[in-house]
Amino acid sequence: MENKDFSVLPAHVGVIMDGNGRWAKNRGLPRSKGHIEGAKTFRKIGEYAGNLGIRHISFYAFSTENWSRPQEEVEAIMALFGDYLHEAVDRLDENIEKGIRLRFLGDRNGLSEELIELIDFVEEKTRDMDKVNLNIAVNYGGQQEILHSVKNIAKDVKAGLIKPEDITLDTIQRGLYTLEQPPVDLVIRPSGEQRLSNFLLWQSAYAEFWSSDVLWPDFTEKDFDEALRAFEKRNRRFGGV
């Protein structure tokens, strides 16, 4: 584990991996090249966060809205996702030794059968790991996630399994993809944008937000440290005084 002498670490960090396309455009390269470099950064930062002792980290890889991008770009992203899943299968023993649990957040409808089979396999093989929860949001939307939970609650009400007056915040939370994980403490967004973009809306209700002008492929461990240092200084009152 890295020793950076942080006074406090977030239990759950959300990362919006933004700026891949602009990184490529600035270099006169196809957008797919930016996603390739961004995937390298994802691996680097994910491993670094785990080594620091951060137990839960969620990466926003592909949103429900991203399907509207050019087909060539979408295909390139899905190919990279497939490569990562195959790599995860090859590194299963290593990930299990490190105690890494892999979870994939999002609607699996629209993904290929091969990707779904790989997702199911990797999740099942690592489900008992408890040192690091590594979440990858693919075909994910925060509003859609909440809607999914509410629809399931409505079905239970219709079936007489629960009464409307018994529905609580916890009832909704139990239907989210991040079941059994803590709320997001810190959301990191590179590339100069300052919005959540439908990412973990429920989980980030009281998250601290940190943004940077650095494009995701150029994001380094030093940038991650800077975000954690900023988090250390925040006075988190959760609506109190």
Which residues lie closer than 8 Å to 69 by C-beta, 6 or more apart? none
Stretch 113-121: mean pLDDT: 97
Stretch 214-218: mean pLDDT: 98
Contact 58, 184 (CB under 8 A): yes
Stretch 125-144: mean pLDDT: 96
User: What's the pLDDT score for residue 3?
Assistant: 54
Q: Per the residue annotation, which of 3, 5, 18, 166 is the catalytic one?
A: 18
User: What's the pLDDT score for residue 5?
Assistant: 86
User: What's the pLDDT score for residue 4?
Assistant: 73
What structural domains and CATH numbers belong to the chain?
12-141+182-233 (3.40.1180.10)
Burial category of 189 from C-beta neighbours within 10 Å (exposed 0-12, middle 13-18, buried 19 and up):
buried
Q: What's the mean pLDDT when you consider all of the chain?
A: 94
pLDDT at position 18 over 70: yes
Stretch 76-85: mean pLDDT: 95
User: What's the pLDDT score for residue 238?
Assistant: 66
Query: pLDDT confidence of 235, banded at 50, 70, 90?
Result: confident
Distance of CA 62 to the CA centre of its chain: 10
Q: Per the residue annotation, which of 26, 51, 66, 107 is the catalytic one?
A: 66
> How large a percentage of the chain has pLDDT more than 90?
93
User: What's the pLDDT score for residue 192?
Assistant: 93
Known catalytic residue at 18: yes
**In this structure, how many other beta carbons lie within 10 angstroms of the beta carbon of residue 114?**
11
Query: pLDDT confidence of 110, banded at 50, 70, 90?
Result: confident
Provide the token pair at 51. Answer: 């080594």
Known catalytic residue at 107: no
User: What's the pLDDT score for residue 210?
Assistant: 98
